[in-house]
Amino acid sequence: MRVALAQVAVELGDLDANLARAWSAIRTAHDEGADVVVFPELHLSGYDLGRVVEDVALEADDPRLAELAAAGQGMGVLLCFPELSPSGVHTYNSSAYFQGSQLLHVHRKLYLPTYDVFEERKHFSPGTRLQAFDTAVGRVATLICNDAWQPMLPFVAVHDGARVLLVPADSSQSRFPERYDSPTYWYDLVSFYGRMYQCYVVFVNRVGVENRGTDHELRFWGRSHVVDPWGERLAEAADSEEDLLLVELDMSAVRRRRREVPLLKEARLKILEREIRRLADEGGDL
């Protein structure tokens, strides 16, 4: 499996410009022999949608998305955008995986941060399910940015058969808290999941600046990367610049690693179900 990490800049609220940029990246990835291309979180809209007057949400079956994915001529394409629900009531922070022009799977971000400059819960409804899904190159799962900061979600994904975790993100270096360094936190998280859940992790971050010179400035640092089932970083994209990084994944390495050190074999899912239900019944977060 050859995956292309499309580390792009984004024009806040300019759907046409972002569609054109994505089309160019898809065509380049196809010409360079990629099987799959993965884009960052909300790359078709920009992140700080509270400052966008126009409604840029798209339904998952919008023909513009299918046409964009079709530019890959059969490649797998993961697109990320604000999704309007079929009812027209909700908007989700979503990713959609296409095989050619066929929509295979939609993941709606489950954990929406609302602190400091991050205001997602004001603009989006949270998703309600996580499922791995089959593609032409194997079974994968998607976690959008803050989803990956919840260790139980990658656990669920790999036990649902995922051998690759696709993690589109909009990570910027925040002004808080003390001793917080966003790239280091992400390196540690991604490496941990690769090593402990014995899978590939494809982290794709964006670049560029939104709200420059304001108290809400967001500076996205890039450095998209891939780790293998041993937790080793295979390759990394540029720092704070657009890049298209192609990485070869040996899917047989996942099975080999899981046979060598069978960490996932003894999940004891029924025990976890019972104890989680107990905590919920005792007043835990629902």
Q: In whole angstroms, what separates CA 280 from the centre of its chain?
A: 28
Per the rule left: phi > 0, alpha: psi between -120 and 50, beta: everything else, 138 is: left
User: Is residue 286, in this structure, part of any structural domain at all?
Assistant: no
pLDDT 10s digits, 197-210:
999 999 999 999 99
Q: Is residue 174 scored above 80 in pLDDT?
A: no
Structure tokens at 123: 């603009």
**The predicted structure's pLDDT at residue 215:** 80
pLDDT 10s digits, 83-94:
999 999 999 999
Residue type, 108: R
Q: Is residue 175 scored above 70 in pLDDT?
A: no
Tell whether omega for the bond before 177 is within 30 degrees of 0, i.e. cis: yes
- Tokens 């808080």 found at: 176
Q: Quote the CA–CA distance of 218 and 145 in Å, as a whole number.
A: 15
Q: How confident is the model at residue 116 (pLDDT cuts 50, 70, 90)?
A: confident
Q: Is residue 118 scored above 90 in pLDDT?
A: no
User: Is residue 20, in this structure, part of any structural domain at all?
Assistant: yes
Q: Tell me, what CATH number does 230's domain have?
A: 3.60.110.10
Q: How confident is the model at residue 180 (pLDDT cuts 50, 70, 90)?
A: confident
Least confident of 16-20, 35-39, 65-69, 208-212: 208-212
Q: How confident is the model at residue 176 (pLDDT cuts 50, 70, 90)?
A: low
- Provide, rounded to the nearest whole percent, the portion of the chain with pLDDT above 70: 98
Q: Quote the CA–CA distance of 274 and 280 in Å, as a whole number.
A: 10
Q: Is residue 135 scored above 70 in pLDDT?
A: yes
Strand 200-205 versus strand 164-169 pairing type:
parallel
Q: How confident is the model at residue 179 (pLDDT cuts 50, 70, 90)?
A: confident
- Provide, rounded to the nearest whole percent, the portion of the chain with pLDDT above 90: 90
Q: Quote the CA–CA distance of 215 and 64 in Å, as a whole number.
A: 34
User: Is residue 32, in this structure, part of any structural domain at all?
Assistant: yes
Spatial CB neighbours of 71, under 8 Å, sequence gap ≥ 6? 23, 26, 27, 30
Q: Quote the CA–CA distance of 182 and 60 in Å, as a whole number.
A: 30
- Tokens 């697109």 found at: 79
Q: Which domain holds residue 97?
A: 2-281
Q: Is residue 285 scored above 90 in pLDDT?
A: no
Q: Helix 63-70 crosses helix 15-31 at what angle (to 10 degrees)?
A: 30
User: Is residue 257, in this structure, part of any structural domain at all?
Assistant: yes
Contact 209/170 with Cβ under 8 angstroms? no
Q: Is residue 177 scored above 70 in pLDDT?
A: no
User: Is residue 247, in this structure, part of any structural domain at all?
Assistant: yes
Least confident of 54-58, 173-177, 188-192: 173-177
Q: What is the total count of domains within the chain? A: 1
Contact 275/27 with Cβ under 8 angstroms? no
H helices then E strands: how many in the chain?
7, 16
pLDDT 10s digits, 227-250:
999 999 999 999 999 999 999 999
Whole-prediction pTM? 0.97
Q: Which of 212, 211, 214, 208 is nearest to 239 (CA)?
A: 208
Q: Quote the CA–CA distance of 43 and 133 in Å, as a whole number.
A: 22
